[in-house]
Structure 1
Amino acid sequence: MPTRDEQLQARRMAPATDRNRDAILAVLRRVLPSSGLVLEIASGTGQHAAHFAAALPGLTWQPSDPEPAARDSIAGWTAHAGLANVLPPLALDVRQQPWGIEAAQALVCINMIHIAPWSAAEALFAGAGRLLPAGGVLYLYGPYRRNGEHTAPSNAAFDAQLRSADAQWGVRNMEDIAALGEAEGFRLDEPIPMPANNFSLVFRK
């Protein structure tokens, strides 16, 4: 078991997280239930988990990430914030079963599906369909194309950068994501424009 000092030293920082966390939190306040368990997929550094759990004390936050270093960072941020409503991070890859969790009231996934193969998006919705109850919320955040077109030149450049790093990555078409959700029994609310040419997508089962 790592000491508190070791946990704190394991923390990683993503500058974009500090820039987008309050805009995302404003949406989460509106769409998440007031109590219950929220599973966060691909929690990354853990900065979001700590920020949201502190602001939404009625919820229990279950972070997850497939990368050991990310899970160490998540634990570090949880320890730093002294939060009792954040569970130890799960080692979770959406494409691998079982997920290690049987049910949740909501699922949050921020900036994942464009830096993962399309099969990860498919697995995300399939897993959400299994875990969430009727009325459960699946929240996605990130850049999207609309009707096949980028919403800003910066997103087009970002998409090209992603695809050059891995041909299976890329900014996804919002309509394709909506179709994945519909196939698993989810309805997409009106997309919410966010800062820096991103969108919040709120799916309800």
Structure 2
Amino acid sequence: MSGKPHSPSCERNRDPILEVLRGYFPAQAEVLEIGSGTGQHAVHFAAAMPRWRWQCADRAEHLPGIRAWLDEAGLRNTPSPFELAAVAEPAPGFAPRPPIPHDPVSGAHGFDAVFSANTLHIMGWPQVQGLFAGLATVLADRATLAIYGPFNYAGAYTSDSNREFDGWLKARDPASGIRDFEAVDALARGIGLALIADVQMPANNRCLIWRR
């Protein structure tokens, strides 16, 4: 199918990320991807792990591109993507309110795992706070959260390239920027998540794993 959006970075990082997710996500899981972007990660991960039901979500303007990737792949474990944004007003959380999986046999509610890549440094900090407030409403008991991207530690950049990238981000949008790990971890702890892994990834990125 022509006209699909394409991200070269997704092609480069998809296998290292998949290796991490395989180690921490359940073998069978309802997975929510927040900020699915082009849809490339979803197709790659869902094809590799057919027992993951991979639910894409993003802002409305990205949904046609995501659908193009999902439709071309034709996978049975990638339902139609839905609109989702992290908002600060009128109250921090998700808008629109996302549909929550429900297992009629066990009575369990919520997603078993949530994944988001390269999103926190694009949002403003109030929206990052909104994302974690929203997560509190969609995670199942003992759910796992994985967030991939660049982070600062103790207020310091981990590389010159990250410093340059942060400058580029802030020149484009002063509200954006590489986030401090400690501040993000505090938001996670505030909704009952505990950090279980901080994995070094290629190109000065990290994959942070929390569990409820």
Q: Could you state the TM-score of these two structures normalised by the residue count of structure 2? A: 0.90
Q: Tell me the CA shift for residue 100 of structure 1.
A: 2.1
Instruction: Point out where structure 2 has 5 or more consecutive residues left out of the alignment.
Output: 88-93, 101-109
Once the two structures are superposed, the pairs formed by residues 94-105 of structure 1 within 5 Å of their partners are 94-95=86-87, 96-102=94-100, 103-105=110-112
- SS of equivalent residue, structure 2 residue 197: coil
Once the two structures are superposed, the pairs formed by residues 65-76 of structure 1 within 5 Å of their partners are 65-68=58-61, 70-76=62-68
Distance in 2 of aligned mates of 1:97 and 1:20: 29
Change (3 A) 1:166 1:61: same
Q: Tell me the CA shift for residue 122 of structure 1.
A: 1.1
- SS of equivalent residue, structure 2 residue 156: coil
Q: Identity rate of aligned residues, in percent?
A: 39
Q: Counterpart of 1:4?
A: none
From 124, 135, 138, give the equivalent of 1:128: 135
- SS of equivalent residue, structure 1 residue 24: helix
Q: Counterpart of 1:178?
A: 185
Contact 1:10 1:72 survives alignment (8 Å): no
Q: Which has the higher strand share?
A: 2
Distance in 1 of aligned mates of 2:132 and 2:18: 22
Q: Could you state the TM-score of these two structures normalised by the residue count of structure 1? A: 0.92
Contact 2:85 2:96 survives alignment (8 Å): no
1:138-189 alpha-carbon deviations (Å, 9 max, x no partner) = 1100000011000000000000100111111000000111001011111012
Contact 2:59 2:84 survives alignment (8 Å): yes
Instruction: Point out where structure 1 has 5 or more consecutive residues left out of the alignment.
Output: 1-7
1:153 is the counterpart of 2:145: no
Q: Counterpart of 1:162?
A: 169
When the two chains are superposed, the root-mean-square deviation of aligned CA atoms in Å is 1.1
From 135, 148, 151, give the equivalent of 1:141: 148
Q: Tell me the CA shift for residue 10 of structure 1.
A: 4.1
Distance in 2 of aligned mates of 1:141 and 1:182: 17
Q: Tell me the CA shift for residue 120 of structure 1.
A: 1.9
Q: Tell me the CA shift for residue 134 of structure 1.
A: 2.2
Contact 1:128 1:138 survives alignment (8 Å): no
Q: Tell me the CA shift for residue 190 of structure 1.
A: 3.1
Contact 1:40 1:64 survives alignment (8 Å): yes
- SS of equivalent residue, structure 1 residue 45: coil
Contact 2:197 2:210 survives alignment (8 Å): no
Q: Counterpart of 1:80?
A: 72
